[in-house]
Amino acid sequence: MVSFTHRDAGTGEDGWAASGLPVLPELPLDAGELAAAAFIVLAAHPDDESLGAGGLLARLRASGAEVTVLLCTAGEASHPDSPTTTPDRLAAVRLREFGGAMGQLLPGSEWQYLALPDGKLAGHREEIRATLADAVAAAVAGAGVPPERIILVAPYRHDGHTDHEVLGSIAADTATAGGHGLLEYPIWYWLWADPSDPAWQSWLRVPLSPAERQAKAAAMASHASQVQALSGQPGDEVLLTPAFLAHFERPFETFAWQRPGAGGAAGASYTAHDAEAIFDAVHTGTADPWQYTTSWYEHRKRSLTLAALPLPNYAAGLEIGCSIGTLSVELAPRCETFLAVDASSAALAHAARRLAHLPAAETRQLTIPQEWPEGRFDLIVVSEVGYYLAPDELAGLFSRLEAALLPGGTLVLCHWRHPISGWELDGDSVHAAARRQLAWADAGLYRERDFVLEILTAPGSRPGSAGRADAAGADAVVRHAGR
């Protein structure tokens, strides 16, 4: 357990502002995804909810999401040496303040108070666990929300405060066991941690609108016993100083995010073997089920992908998961030979028509990674397909890539960052697995709330001139298609 007190100067907000925290990737949940989920918010003490997640709660209210709030203690131990009040009187004050904060963030909502002792949640784990389980069951039965659409919001499990850590660990265990999402909000971490700590670098950011920041500020102001001195006497000093509160006046909130199903517990998990039937059905009756040809998002993403390629031309390109070929038709002219593969024969029929005017391009139905084309390539593109594999299949894909990509070759990864229903992985986990397994040099990274685009370079030097393989390599790649 970290040793600190609220009187410590700690890490100033300037240090965090200069750390890279403000440019963390955004949480990949849009308004529609928030509205379709049920949120169970846990607070160890009144004001935890406003400090760590007030802006998020305001957003949930605006989105119409189902929200349940569980308050564990009244925070009656915040001023143990006060000469002007008692823990019982302070408990009553803090509960009224909590109600006022809820009126700012979730007006009209109900919240449940567990009446557990402040500072002693470690002795009440089973009671908390049972109450949380009841709240999850109520969301499933009453609101009709499936387990994978339940998201727990709790204090960070390594926050340094015993009550926060107990509550965070219970929430983490429950989320993992049930396949729920989990958002952990740090509070005291910002005081005692150093920006060099790698823990926060995998967290996500929720940018706050002016209205959300205003609601959060009003909620914090409701906790007068914490942001103002109880009196001028020793023992009644302000608990949350302006320097500490500066961490929570940012135009964003920060969360450690565990996506639904990350614990491997809930919901169906499809694999590559399911892809052919699933995507054949998707492409039956419509030539463009995902609006690849009409969506500005898709046009923009393709343009960014093409612009991110470090070379103008390649000897042999391979696109895995080409779908109907909208990216393929723009990649192929930059390659001397080009192969587009997909598990769906229905999608490939559209891709083949789209590529028919390019004699160096061909399509082939393959279930990756179990099946793989012969030869080697100096460009391999894996776009919007990695999360349609089981984790062991994804590892198999990267092993195939290692063997197939020529030294100095380009690997393009591009994936949607939102949760993928029915599949175990998501875009962020695909890219994290690639970096972990391949450990290749990163030649470019672009990330926004909706997608992540990453360019990796295979070890070794590219033989010959830029964009060209040497004679042996070129001979090998020409034979990749069995020509």
pLDDT, averaged per 10 consecutive residues of the chain (483 residues), comes to 76 94 92 94 98 98 96 97 97 98 94 97 97 95 87 97 97 95 97 94 95 98 97 95 96 95 56 61 66 87 96 97 95 98 90 95 94 96 93 95 97 92 85 96 93 96 54 37 33
Domain boundary among 191, 224, 258: 258
Q: Is residue 392 part of a domain?
A: yes
CATH number of residue 71's parent domain: 3.40.50.10320
Same domain for 290 and 246: no
Same domain for 437 and 309: yes
Q: Please give the residue range of the domain that contains residue 352.
A: 272-481
CATH number of residue 403's parent domain: 3.40.50.150
> What pTM value is reported for the model?
0.78
Looking at residue 283, its pLDDT comes to 62
Write the DSSP assignment of 88-122 as a string of letters.
HHHHHHHHHHHHHHHHHHSTT--EEE--PPTT-GG
Domain boundary among 258, 280, 305: 258
Same domain for 311 and 173: no
Same domain for 468 and 332: yes
Number of domains present in the structure of the chain: 2
**Strand order in 451-457's β-sheet?**
361-365, 335-342, 314-320, 377-383, 405-416, 451-457, 441-447
Looking at residue 350, its pLDDT comes to 92
Q: Is residue 57 part of a domain?
A: yes
Looking at residue 1, its pLDDT comes to 63
Q: Is residue 266 part of a domain?
A: no
Phi, psi torsion values for 448, nearest 5 degrees:
-140, -175
Same domain for 159 and 27: yes
H helix and E strand count, the chain: 17, 14
Same domain for 439 and 388: yes
Same domain for 142 and 185: yes
Same domain for 337 and 449: yes
* Structure token digits, residue 314: 């390649």
Same domain for 392 and 243: no
Looking at residue 261, its pLDDT comes to 78
Looking at residue 292, its pLDDT comes to 80
Domain boundary among 258, 291, 311: 258
Same domain for 208 and 64: yes
